[in-house]
Amino acid sequence: MDVAMRKHQEATVLVNFASLRSAYDSTMQAMQHPQINTVVIIAEGIPENMTRKIIKLADDRGVNIIGPATVGGIKPGCFKIGNTAGMIDNIIGSKLYRPGSVAYVSRSGGMSNELNNIISKEADGVCEGVAIGGDRYPGTTFIDHLMRYEADPNVKMLVLLGEVGGVEEYHVCRAIKDGRITKPLVAWCIGTCSDMFTSEVQFGHAGSLAGSALEKAAAKNKALAKHGAVVPDSFDTLGAAINKHVSNKFSVSSSDMFTSEVQFGHAGSLAGSALEKAAAKNKALAKHGAVVPDSFDTLGAAINKVYKKLVSEGKIIEKEEVGPPKVPMDYDWARKLGIIRKPAAFVSTICDERGQELSYCGVPITSILEKQMGVGGTISLLWFQRELPDWACKFFELVLIVTADHGPAVSGAHNTMVTARAGKDLISSVVSGLLTIGDRFGGALDRAAADFCAAYDRGQHPQEFVNEKRAKGELIMGIGHRVKSINNPDSRVRELKAYVTSRWPAWPVTRYALDVEAITTRKKPNLILNVDGIVAAAMVDLFRHCQLFSHVKSINNPDSRVRELKAYVTSRWPAWPVTRYALDVEAITTRKKPNLILNVDGIVAAAMVDLFRHCQLFSQEEGNSYISMGSINALFVLGRTIGLVGHYLDQKRLKQPLYRHPWDDITYMSPLN
């Protein structure tokens, strides 16, 4: 605040939107700056002892306080405080875009908005209006603002809307009697029904509580009318009081119908004595010359009558009405009503959090939980925008399990551990591991799926496929392992293969991948269908047949992950031709080298192709589209992230120091030596 004051030394008014917890401190701080002469406190609920301290300091420093618990005020054509007068359409409807000749003061912010409306219809509009706030101890009172209006030559007529509780209206009566207020005043104190209650009732505000007869609305209305104010019979006739002669007959004020204290909402709307009741106030106001209508209903008429009299006397010169300025609609309001729309910058089809409940692809989150759809079902909705069958969802979860981690020696885990030991945070450490995922490490699924798909769709024999790759000098994605071989199979691939071949409605791509494995392992036992390969083939088969879509391993040391994936796919897929194809390729590659097995990437890729093609939930075009998007690689990324987070936590748990790679593991070669 000190910085703001230094930068804006011409500012004299502070509008304090702080909550009740900090409004006191910020207000007291603001009053330490001599440039501030007015503070508006919006917050309600400030303890009364704190409010009294604010008022004491304000009096000492000559600062005007509007509030607490106020909606603010408005000076049409100049400024409105906070939410005063509501939205643009209401401001235009009440002609608050230009000044009129009538100034009002009220306790209630909500009722001040109604006064804006009444005055715009029964007179030429509002010149200024202030709601002093509903607390028992307002910073400024009715008389403070009425005296300002009295001194303002632009104000020709005054309106006071008091309430049950407090005796501020009697100060107005004395000001009229003493001649300090000479301008016509139309006044009404609401809450005349307070006497109908047999116990203390508060009408909304803290200040709307009559502690005595004088504080009741009826007494105030009576006093205002007595002293020359135009006081209508009720709030309903406030408008009519402007047009009609003020009746000297007062109906029974509603507050007099109650035999005990009644509080009307505000803390200040409580009559502690007979004088604080609305009826007593209305009577006093009328007695001292205020125009007091019979009720709020005739308040408008009373205002209109006084206004027309001032016009006829030449004290108010009616001006030609000017149209409202063109003000843009409030965007949020107009959009909510459907008047306008804005082209979206982003389009999202998988998740919607706008309603009462989060939904994935239109399925409420509670329904997902009730159906126990699990992680696999969630992936089916968020990734593929449909509810895939249980066997497909189970496959996703199986892939996540077998790809979650593969020990600290692989590149992803290594990078994560090194980064963690360098003192980096979890996200940075995990990302460093994720960035190593590619064709050589865990990221071969998409290419494996594409290769197995293309070869299978061309009707190319697995041996021809292997020969073609050899001739081009290209690696077969999804084939080969650094540790596992056909003699030491990867159990992950085995399980995936078994699942796909037993559950897929069709798995031709998976079968093709297995045929490739049979070939590659004849060359080298480690050219097995790895996890990437089995998942890729199985996913292709899934996309095609679910009917919902259009390296250190060897054949002698098989990758158990691939074995498990292979078993899962071959036992669960309704069809797994791509997986079979991948297995055929493995049979060929392992003949050359035993480590040219179908790896995890290969089995997952083939199985996913079979899933897309044979689960009967994808068209072939949709399945191919999901493959090209990278959806199969996403399985590995998601699963491996679990392991990378585990490595990060492990390094932190073990309090490992900063990592520095040993010199003896580095070959230093300088071209100058």
**Active-site annotation, residues:** 205
Q: Strand (E) positions, 411-566?
A: 482-485, 509-523, 526-530, 545-546, 552-554
Residue with tokens 């995990």: 430
CA distance 102 to 352: 50
Task: Tell me whether the omega of the peptide bond preceding residue 47 falls within 30 degrees of 0, making it cis.
Answer: no
Q: What count of Cα atoms within 13 Å lies in the side-chain half-sphere of residue 501?
A: 25
**Whole-number Å distance between alpha carbons of 64 and 354:** 44
Contact (CB, 8 A) for 375 and 397:
yes
Tell me which residue has tokens 């306790």. Answer: 107
Distance in angstroms (rounded) separating the CA atoms of residues 523 and 506: 29
Q: Which residue has the tokens 């995890």?
A: 600
The rounded distance, in Å, linking the Cα atoms of 114 and 107 is 12
Provide the CB-side half-sphere exposure for 605 (13 A, CA).
38
Q: In whole angstroms, give the CA distance from residue 132 to residue 91.
A: 20
**Residue 98 burial (10 A CB sphere; 0-12, 13-18, 19+):** middle
CB 500, CB 514: distance < 8 Å: no
Q: Distance (Å, rounded) from C-alpha 225 to C-alpha 241?
A: 12
Query: Taken in order 145, 312, 227, 217, is the CA torsion positive or negative?
Result: negative
- Report in angstroms the alpha-carbon separations of 507 from 118, 392, 561: 78, 12, 19
Q: Which amino acid is at 193?
A: C
Burial 181-193 (b: 16+ CB within 10 A, else e): bebbbbbbbbbbb
The beta-strand segments (E) located in 486-592 are 509-523, 526-530, 545-546, 552-554, 590-592
Amino acid, res. 21: R
Q: Which residues pair with 535 in a beta bridge?
A: 604
CB contact at 8 A, 580 and 556: no
Residue with tokens 């917890």: 21
* Beta bridge mates, 549: 618
